Amino acid sequence: MANYNLRVNGKKYEVDVEEDTPLLWVLRDHLGLVGTKYSCGIAQCGACTVHINGEATFSCVLPVSSIGDDKVTTIEGLSEDGDHPVQKAWNEIDVAQCGYCQAGQIMNAASFLNKNPKPSFDEIDEAMNRNICRCGTYHKIREAVALAAKTK
């Protein structure tokens, strides 16, 4: 076990965990931030997507020891009141079915739109292809990303 100081959503946290503990489980089991989801644990589905210095990252395969001073943002910290343009677009388009994958989808979309504010539909498809939605909400996700790009 070792102590780690983390910066998550602008707050400082200290945790005492094994160095190989994935950030995902630190967030969920130790910091009470359960918005970041577990689904595959092997970097295949994107349910666990967080931002590391703004970059969409699979937290399920990111050992806590590798984070250092990097800035972690989770769905809970994406915006103050759930009013990030991507969150608003997700509501407007009413994207979710079960909703389980959607935090990861939103985090991926938000980071993608930061880098590519005016994406084509093909670019949206390419970027969002790393997140699985078992309920098949892909059409709505695509629409919502396009809407967020427009309203940003």
Residue ranges that bind ligand FES, judged by CB under 6 A: 38-41, 43-48, 58, 60, 96-102, 133-135, 137
Q: Of these, 61, 65, 71, 76, which contacts another protein (CB under 8 A)?
A: 76
Strand partners, 64: none
Closest CA relative to residue 63, chosen from 75, 55, 52: 52
> Which H helix or E strand runs over 36?
none
User: Of ligand FES, another protein, none, which one sits near residue 13, judging by CB under 5 to 8 A according to partner kind?
Assistant: none
Distances (CA, A) of 110 to 32, 42, 67, 80: 23, 22, 21, 15
Applying CB under 8 A, which residues contact another protein?
1, 17-18, 20-22, 25, 28-30, 32-42, 44-45, 47, 74-76, 78-79, 82, 87, 90-91, 94, 96-103, 106, 121, 125-126, 128-129, 131-142
